Chain A
Amino acid sequence: MWRGLIRRLSTNSEQIAKVDVSYLRPRHRILAAGGVPPVEFDYERERAARRERFGKFGLASGVSVEELYPTVEEIEEEYAIGLFKELNEVKQEYLELKKKQDEAHKNRLAELEKNLKKYPAALEKYEASLVKQEKLKDEKEIALEKRIREIQEYFGYWMDPKDPRFEVMLEQKEAEEKKAVKLAKREEVQKKRYAEVVQ
């Protein structure tokens, strides 16, 4: 450090101006001074880098403006791929689609209107069918319920009719009923006999 200072003091002013203590590379020295650095690296020869070079330094970069545009071949390739449709074509497509959707909507509304006219008749028919079924069901159900209730009253406690024991109890009750009927008959016969004897 001291040696450098002495050397610097000993030289004349022209030489002092040349001394650079920033330790910047030449490239960065040019950049710091606002200049255009020369093309140095491989990547700078690539297309994107050349574009960027133009964007940064303008015409002084040595990149021609023509390079920034896609080439004619690239444009033709893009046309050949057909990635983008023309605006008028898309507009037409949209209008057709909308027309179709509107028509479908209109048809649907007309159908609903038509169905609405038939609705009262259909509702009446349906309600009538409901009533009929209820009636049929009632007769059957009432008979079943009656029987279930009888059995439950007979045994004195509630029993699920789906229970397997219910069947057994039903048989038992039927048997007892038969027995009771038999007994009643016999008693009647006996009563008749008594009467005959008494007379």
Chain B
Amino acid sequence: MFSRRLIIRAAQFSTSQSKKTEKLWENPWKHALHQQEQPRTSAKVLEVPIDWSYVERLMPIEIIPDVPKHETYPTPSGWTPPTEAAKTHSYYVRRRRDHMLPLYLERKRDLLNEKTLDFDYVELVVLRNVDGNIFDCENELRQFVEAQLDHPIATHVDELKGRIKIKGAPRKIIEQFLYSKGF
């Protein structure tokens, strides 16, 4: 792109007449019209057979692909599909459209730290897509996480939206909880 423009610009420079005594500004039209009458010799082309699968594999993926069948779960990256055990609880956590757990990280501004004069931030993990009895979910989550971490955590339940916000626990442990319940 850049090089093409540069070439055109350079072409304008290169055609400046060094031999002629007439100055450019004496007859600008002549100069301008001269530019348009450049000879154009175009290429010759030929159709070549091609294996179209090479082009198809370049096109963007527009639909989330199905997960291929794996022999064992969890897969090498630690992903597991939802199991039957998930239906036994009084609540249900739906997966995201891309087969991942609905866990999101959030960072919110806290109070001003008077020593450093910088704002502190709190890091929260948000669990979304919780259906059914969300308070049961919150209870069991709290028990599981506190047993792992040995310190209390703070949670906030938004029943209307089906979300639980968790403060003081890493996402990994909440992921473990969800997998252990079969979601």
Contacts and interface: CB of A to CB of B under 8 A. Distances in A.
Q: Indicate whether A and B are direct neighbours in the complex (CB within 8 Å).
A: yes
A46 interface: no
A72 B44 CA distance: 11
B3 A78 contact: yes
B43 A66 contact: yes
Contacts of B3: 78, 83
A71 to B, nearest CB: 5
Give chain A's interface secondary structure class. helix
Interface in B32-57: 38-45
B171 to A, nearest CB: 43
Given A65-B45, A66-B45, A73 B6 contact: no
A139 interface: no
Interface string B44-75: 11000000000000000000000000000000
Contacts, number: 36
Given A78-B3, A83-B3, A69 B43 contact: yes
Given A70-B4, A71-B40, A83-B6, A77 B11 contact: yes
B7 interface: yes
Contact of A74 (B7, B14, B44, B45): B7
A42 to B, nearest CB: 15
Given A72-B41, A77-B11, A83-B3, 10 more contacts: A66-B43, A69-B45, A70-B43, A71-B42, A72-B42, A73-B38, A73-B39, A74-B4, A78-B3, A80-B14
Interface of A: 65-67, 69-74, 77-78, 80-81, 83
